[in-house]
Amino acid sequence: MTEKHYWWKIVGVVLMLIVINRGLLTPLKHGIMDVSPDRIEAGKQVVFKINSYNANYKQAEKEIQVYLKHVPEDSKNKQEEFILKANAIEVINENQLQASFQLPSHLPDSRKVALFTLIVDNALDGATAIPSKIIMLQDSVDLADGIRQWSSSDKPHFHSPNKMYFPYRNILVETIRNTFFHVSLWFSMFLMFGMSVYYSVKYLKSNDPDADLRSFALVRTGLFFGIMGCLTGSLWARFTWETWWTTDIKLNMAALTILIYMSYLVLRAAIEDKDRKARISAAYNIFALVAVIPLIFILPRLTDSLHPGNGGNPAFGSDDMDNSLRIIFYPAVLAFMLVGLWMASLLYRSDKLLYIIEEKENN
C-alpha cells in the first residue's frame, strides 16, 4: 500500500482547499423570491412587484426584460409556448422591480385557468424564472383568439451570464453549497465500507491479521463519515424541510446503516479470542455491506423521498445538478475520499504498532 507516501494526501488537501474556496465564494445566480400579485385576470393591465435575490437591477437598468410564459399542458406539440413581454419596467432597487403587462383578453389555453412562468432577463445577471407561479383566469374561453393574441410578440433573446454561478433554488438558496460537504461524506463512507469488505474477503482467504486491521480501520472511518453525514444532513433539514429529522426513507435507512455498523463495533469488542474476533467480524462486515446497499440505493428509489434522485427519477439528473455544481462536486467527492483514506491509514498504522508491541510482549 502507499499509505506512507505523501502525494495522494497532498492531492486530497489541495482539492479540499479548492472545494471550500470555490464552493463558498462562487455567487448564486439571481433568482425570483416572490411575485405579487400571483392571481391575475386576462384582459387587464397588471403591475407585478418582483422581489429577487442576488440581482443587479440598478446596474443593468436599461437592459432588463420581463416576460410571462405559458406552455399549454394539453398541447400536442411539446415545443409550443407563448411568451408576452412587459411593456414597462421600473427598477426600485438592486433586488426589486415593477413590471407592467397589458394582458390579452383571452388565454392561449382551452381552460379558464392557466399557470404562467415569470421570467426576468438582463445582460448582467442572465435570465431567471419562477416556474408556474402566476395563475391567470379568464371569463370566457376563446382558444383561437388567445393563440393569435399571444403569438404576436417577437421571440425573446435570453442572456446567459459569462461568470460562473450556482443555480438559485427557492427554499434552498445558499444552502445548495451543502451539496459539496454533505453529499460527499456519504460517497466517502461507501468507499470506506467497500474497501473494508475487500480486506475482509482477503482476511477470510489468507487469515492475515494485517488485512483484518485494515478492514477494521476502514469500517471505523466509514462509520465516522456516516455519523457526520447524519449530523450535517439534520442541520440542513432543520432550515429547509423545517425539521431536524423527517420520516423520509433515506434518513431512516441511513440511521439503520449506522446501527448495523455500530453493532459491528460491539460484536468486535465482545469477542476475546483474536482469531475468532477477526473471522467473525470479517464475515459480519461482508453481510453488512450486502444489507446496506439495498437500504440506501434501492429502497429509497422505490418510494417517494425528499432526497433528489429518489422516487423513480435518476440521481443527479439535470434538475438537481447543473454543470456549475458538478465541476465542484466531483472534486469534493474525491477530496473527502482521499482525506478519509488518510484517516483510515492513520488508524490502521497505530493499530498495527499496538499489534506488533503486543506480539512482542507475548513472546
Partner 1 sequence: MNLIDLFLLTHNGLFLVVNSIVESTDFMRETGKIHVVYGVITIIFIGITLFLVYLERKISQIEKKINND
Summarize as ranges the residues that interact with partner 1 (CB under 8 A): 20, 24, 28, 34, 38-39, 53-54, 111-113, 115, 133, 135, 137, 170-175, 177-178, 181-182, 185, 224, 227-228, 231-232, 235-236, 238-240, 242, 343, 346-347, 350-351, 353-354, 357-358, 361
Measured CA to CA, the distance from residue 135 to residue 128 in angstroms comes to 18
Q: Scan for cell 475468532, then name that residue.
A: 276
Q: What is the closest distance, in whole angstroms, from the C-beta atom of residue 133 to partner 1 in the complex?
A: 8
Q: What is the closest distance, in whole angstroms, from the C-beta atom of residue 121 to partner 1 in the complex?
A: 21
Residue 312 zone, left/alpha/beta (φ > 0; ψ -120 to 50; rest) = left
* Residue 101: closest CA among 120, 122, 87: 87
Measured CA to CA, the distance from residue 13 to residue 35 in angstroms comes to 44
Q: What is the closest distance, in whole angstroms, from the C-beta atom of residue 191 to partner 1 in the complex?
A: 17
Closer to partner 1 by Cβ: residue 44 or 111: 111
**Mode of pairing for the β-strands spanning 82-85 and 39-41:** unpaired
Closer to partner 1 by Cβ: residue 63 or 174: 174
Closer to partner 1 by Cβ: residue 183 or 253: 183
Closer to partner 1 by Cβ: residue 75 or 232: 232
Closer to partner 1 by Cβ: residue 242 or 272: 242
Q: What is the closest distance, in whole angstroms, from the C-beta atom of residue 125 to partner 1 in the complex?
A: 15
Residue 242 zone, left/alpha/beta (φ > 0; ψ -120 to 50; rest) = left
Q: What is the closest distance, in whole angstroms, from the C-beta atom of residue 351 to partner 1 in the complex?
A: 8
Q: Which helix (H) or strand (E) holds 351?
A: helix 323-362
Measured CA to CA, the distance from residue 258 to residue 229 in angstroms comes to 10
